[in-house]
Amino acid sequence: MIFTTKAEYGVRLLVELGRQERSAPVSLKVIAEAEALPLAYLERIVALLKRAGLVESTRGAHGGYRLARPAAEIRMDDAVLALEGVVAPMSCFVDDRVDGRVLCSHLDDGHHGCGTRLLWMRVQGGVVDALRRTTLQELVDFAAREPQIAAPVAEDGRLPLRVA
């Protein structure tokens, strides 16, 4: 399952907001520069996060964005679903739109379904469960502990397989 850059950039934006004090709004320009992300794309992404109630905005000279609630209360399933829509492990899964589940599109083929449906349902459930169990605060804390050091590059320009 591959998430798009909407999920990647959106979660990075949330982590950056989580690093800030909730009372002080941060401009998207500052976040775009800090994370080396395209500002125009972040504007579209933050609109999705705002619509989902994860961030709020303040207008004016000292305006910007901040988390709508504490980072410990923001679960990654809420964020990723707001950014990506339904999480589907295969292209043959279709959005049910009723409760966020995905269904195998092969069910219309005489109601036999696909022999691998159980596997993909379990994969989808595992991914959603992992997102549900992860809070933004965990990501913020992890980012604070993780050294932000670039991997050394070999003379031929390739990254080593292992960085000690």
pLDDT value for 63 = 86
> Where do the structural domains in the chain lie, given as residue ranges?
5-145
Residue type, 72: A
- pTM of the predicted model, to two decimals? 0.78
Tell me how far apart the alpha carbons of residues 111 and 101 are, in angstroms, rounded to a whole number: 18
Residues 6 or more apart whose Cβ sits within 8 Å of residue 106:
92, 112, 113, 114, 117
pLDDT value for 161 = 44
Tell me how far apart the alpha carbons of residues 139 and 72 are, in angstroms, rounded to a whole number: 10
State whether CATH 3.40.50.1980 applies to domain 5-145.
no
Kindly give the parts of the chain with pLDDT less than 70. Answer: 1, 21, 91-113, 146-164
